[in-house]
């Protein structure tokens, strides 16, 4: 409301001409940073939010985070022995937000799967074949933009989306990238963990991924040129 222009990573608003599409600066060169290892591990990127609500946003609030832990437990226990043996869990980094993640995962029996050597998410993914995401946040947009094999699951009642965005998320759901239950996600991993490339490179998966990325994780080889042209045009109007 207070801005002259609002730049998005691909999405537009028919009701608000302030919204303009420009390629994401954060996602620039992401495909060079995120590379996979074909015989690597499976990385589960876990997410938590604040214990006490401080903003109004579509994410799990307070005790709803306990459901996130429960869903993670169901996902891991739904994996086959073979898939589970190559899974490691990346806890939410730095700020535990009072949720005692490590203690909770230990009680679930997942201590041996916890990734705790301090490396970045990018470093961990470079040693993996598949990324698993548990929240509608930036991490899965990074992997999708990098064309890195990606699977996500989350509770749609906790991570609500706008009606106009639903068709794009449905595209991901239809090809098995997005799941709304941990059991469904685990079943998909069991099907593809030993043939990730053949699944990920299939025409239907790539088409759905590309359409979603164009709408919500847009990048461009001419990023600097596009930004320069936009800012130059604004300056000329001043």
End-to-end alpha carbon distance in the chain? 20
Q: Give the span between the Cα atoms of 225 and 131, in whole angstroms.
A: 32
3-state secondary structure of 152: strand
Query: 189 Cβ partners below 8 Å, 6+ apart?
Result: 42, 79, 83, 130, 132, 151
Nearest Cα to 114, choosing from 91, 97, 134? Answer: 91
Express as a percent the part of the chain with pLDDT over 70: 100
Residue 79 CA to its chain's centroid (Å): 20
pLDDT bin (cut points 50, 70, 90) of residue 117 is confident
**Per-residue model confidence (pLDDT) at position 115:** 80
Nearest Cα to 119, choosing from 98, 93, 100? Answer: 93
**Using N-to-C axis directions, what is the helix angle for 203-216 and 166-174, rounded to 10°?**
160
Residue 101 CA to its chain's centroid (Å): 20
Highest mean pLDDT among 73-77, 102-106, 158-162: 73-77
pLDDT bin (cut points 50, 70, 90) of residue 150 is very high
Nearest Cα to 134, choosing from 9, 219, 49? Answer: 49
Q: Give the span between the Cα atoms of 178 and 100, in whole angstroms.
A: 27
pTM of the model: 0.93
**Per-residue model confidence (pLDDT) at position 60:** 86
| pLDDT tens, residue by residue, 80-101 | 999 999 999 999 887 788 888 8
Nearest Cα to 115, choosing from 138, 97, 139, 131? Answer: 131
3-state secondary structure of 215: helix
CA dist 36 → 3, 41, 124, 131, 146 (Å)? 39, 10, 9, 9, 10
DSSP letter assigned to residue 95: -
Q: Share the mean pLDDT of the chain.
A: 93
């Amino acid at each position: 409301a207070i801005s002259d222009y609002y730049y998005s990573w691909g999405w537009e608003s028919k009701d608000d001409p302030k919204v303009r599409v420009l390629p994401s600066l954060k996602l620039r060169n992401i495909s060079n940073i995120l590379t996979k290892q074909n015989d690597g591990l499976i990385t589960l990127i876990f997410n938590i939010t604040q214990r006490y609500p401080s903003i109004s946003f579509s994410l799990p609030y307070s005790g709803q985070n306990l459901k996130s832990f429960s869903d993670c437990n169901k996902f891991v226990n739904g994996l086959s022995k073979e898939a589970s043996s190559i899974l490691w869990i990346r806890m939410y980094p730095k700020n535990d937000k009072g949720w005692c993640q490590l203690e909770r995962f230990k009680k679930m029996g997942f201590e041996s799967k916890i990734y705790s050597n301090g490396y970045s998410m990018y470093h961990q993914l470079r040693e993996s074949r598949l990324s698993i995401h548990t929240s509608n946040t930036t991490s899965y947009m990074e992997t999708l933009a990098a064309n890195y094999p990606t699977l996500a699951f989350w509770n749609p009642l906790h991570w609500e989306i706008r009606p106009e965005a639903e068709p794009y998320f449905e595209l991901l759901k239809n090809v098995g990238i997005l799941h709304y239950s941990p059991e469904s996600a685990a079943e998909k991993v069991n099907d593809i963990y030993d043939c990730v490339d053949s699944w990920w490179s299939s025409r239907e998966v790539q088409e759905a991924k590309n359409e979603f990325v164009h709408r919500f994780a847009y990048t461009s080889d001419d990023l600097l040129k596009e930004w320069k042209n936009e800012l130059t045009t604004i300056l000329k109007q001043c």
